[in-house]
Amino acid sequence: MTSSTADRATFGVHSIDHFTLEVPSLAEATHFLTAFGFALEAQAGQLLLRTPASNHIWARIREGARKRLAYLALNCFADDFEPLRAQIVQAGGRVAAAAAQATVEGFWFEDPDGNLLLLRVGEKTSPSYRAKPRLVAGPARTRGACVRAEAPPARPQRLSHVLMFTPDIARVVSFYERALGMRLSDGSAGIVAFLHGRHGSDHHLIAFAQGDAKGWHHSAWDVPDVDVVGIGKMQMQQAGYTQGWGVGRHVLGSNYFQYVRDPWGSYWEYSADIDFVPPGFEWPSGDHAPENSLYLWGPDVPAYFFENTEH
Ligand SMILES: [Fe+2]
């Protein structure tokens, strides 16, 4: 699936700036996303999602007839913008009109699946180094866990990655490699593929799962450790969101996970300790048997987990 080193793209995006989702009910979205731990701001008919850690707007939610991705905005360095634009066109990216109501500027285009993308010069929101893992256990002779009443609520720190369904995984992976300079981290039997950014990023920044049509599967949000993943699961169950998958640990990416199913059949993932690919590092990508690589431990995968609810 991966291209050879010789025909790799010269330039690459470094981050996801934000994504915009359309959902049928902003009221339902407000309830779900507040419970998940976001700081929400309503502005001009949209919900802006921030995390407590920064003022960055990670996602925008607006009302639409059905849940779907409106667009995905990707950031690059200033010197790379024009070469990247040319590289995208060269790779077959279709130039597109700006998304309706979009307040951000850049180069709008479509990937082979018809997903609307925006290339812009912007902040590097992906990590540039491996965050030091937080020690879950306390030192000797002290209690490692706090009492339950003192446990802080789970709050996302930053966007880690997004995963979309695609009708043709080989085609879309090739496009993201050639047009956007992304690199394949790992894949699994043509069922799922994980791509990272070449300037330092989590093991996956954008991932794809084979489906019968395009669709939005999940966004993943970094939290400090596996305890917060578990607290997040409990927090969402108490808010009435009981469907999902986890707590578990992935093999590809190694992150601890809890996926919470939203009212429209896609997922918001609490993720901790995902693998990091340093700038310029050649990650030894592999093709892994699905039964051996989806998760190291965790509950059985619910039958609805890989449903594409967008058609
Ligand atoms: Fe994920």
**What is the reported pLDDT for 136?**
66
Tell me, in angstroms, the distance from the centre of ligand 1 to residue 161's CA. 6
Q: Which among 72, 61, 71 is positioned nearest to 23, based on CA atoms?
A: 61
- The residue behind tokens 């469907």 is 243
Q: Would you give the DSSP letter of residue 305?
A: T
CA 263 to chain centre: 18
Q: Which of 5-9, 255-259, 288-292 has the lowest mean pLDDT?
A: 5-9
Does residue 242 have a pLDDT over 70? yes
Q: Where are the domains of the chain?
A: 5-127+155-293
CA of 153 to the centre of ligand 1 (A): 21
**Nearby residues for ligand 1 (ion, Cβ within 5 Å):** 220, 269
**Rounded-to-integer distance, Cα 34 and Cα 128, Å:** 29
With 0-12 / 13-18 / 19 or more C-beta atoms within 10 angstroms meaning exposed / middle / buried, residue 9 is buried
What's the rounded Cα separation, in Å, for the pair 193 and 12? 18
Gap between the Cα atoms of 119 and 94, Å rounded? 13
- Cα of 27 from ligand 1 centre, angstroms: 25
pLDDT at position 231 is: 97
Q: DSSP label at 51? A: -
pTM greater than the 0.75 cutoff: yes
Q: What is the distance in A from the centroid of ligand 1 to the CA of 138?
A: 29
CB of 23 within 8 A of CB of 264?
A: yes
> Three-state SS across 65-129?
CCCEEEEEEEEECHHHHHHHHHHHHHCCCEECCCCCCCCCCCEEEECCCCCEEEEEECCCCCCCC
Does the domain formed by 5-127+155-293 have CATH 3.40.605.10?
no
pLDDT tier, 189 (very low <50, low <70, confident <90, very high otherwise) = confident
pLDDT digits (tens, 9 = 90+) for 131-177: 877 776 777 888 888 898 899 999 999 999 999 999 999 999 999 99
For residue 54, give both structure tokens: 């920064």
Tokens of residue 153, six digits: 């609520």
What whole-number distance in Å separates Cα of residue 222 and Cα of residue 263? Answer: 21
254 Cα: distance to centroid of ligand 1 (angstroms) = 10
Distance 83 CA to ligand 1 centre (A): 30
* Distance from Cα 46 to the centre of ligand 1, integer Å: 25
Q: Nearest-CA neighbor of 12 among 158, 97, 124?
A: 124
